[in-house]
Amino acid sequence: RASSRRLCPLPYLPEGWRADTVHAGVLAAPTEPPRRFGADGAGREVLRLRDAAGRAVALAEVQQVHTLAYTGLWLERHWVASPRALLVLALGLVERARALDLDEVGYLAPTGREEAVTWVRAGYYVAGRYAVYTGGGA
């Protein structure tokens, strides 16, 4: 989780990079086969980052969450082209939550991965351990 509460926006895009927020439709990551990211539905959107050459370098599918405890963006899934793009995406998600006047960004991240270090560098922190029921028989 990362808090989005601060007094002013934080510049996070490298020179020449652009961030777009898509509110409807499907975007495809430039992978083989293409991974699809959908923005259809209430509170759902895709944040897309493009580098200085105009190439897509990151996609994040998020859902706005409004509970009694907090409001936030929940990161459903993401794709990045590089470690640098991941750091910029992590920062960009916090800025998007701030622009929407939401409290935080949440992501149920796999543990023990090198990627986790990047999320922490961007200001995210471990909020605790979760017990997850995935179904199945007794």
Mean pLDDT throughout 12-36?
93
**pTM score of the predicted model:** 0.85
Q: How far is CA 36 from CA 27, 28, 90, 105, in A?
A: 6, 4, 19, 21
Task: Please state whether beta strands 71-80 and 56-66 pair in parallel, antiparallel, or not at all (unpaired).
Answer: antiparallel
| pLDDT tens digits, one per residue of 70-113 | 899 999 999 999 999 999 999 999 999 999 999 899 888 766 67
CA distance 66 to 52: 35
The H or E element containing residue 83 is helix 83-99
Q: 20 is written with which tokens?
A: 């777009």
pLDDT for res 7? 53
Min mean pLDDT across 25-29, 89-93, 130-134 is at: 130-134
Residues listed for the chain: 138
CA distance 17 to 102: 24
**Regarding predicted confidence, which is higher, 9 or 50?**
50
pLDDT for res 2? 57
| pLDDT tens digits, one per residue of 52-74 | 999 999 999 999 999 898 899 99
Mean pLDDT throughout 41-56?
95
CA distance 134 to 28: 28
Listing from the earlier edge strand, what are the strands of the sheet with 56-66?
A: 2-3, 104-106, 71-80, 56-66, 44-50, 18-22
Mean pLDDT throughout 101-129?
81
Min mean pLDDT across 32-41, 83-92, 98-107, 114-123 is at: 114-123
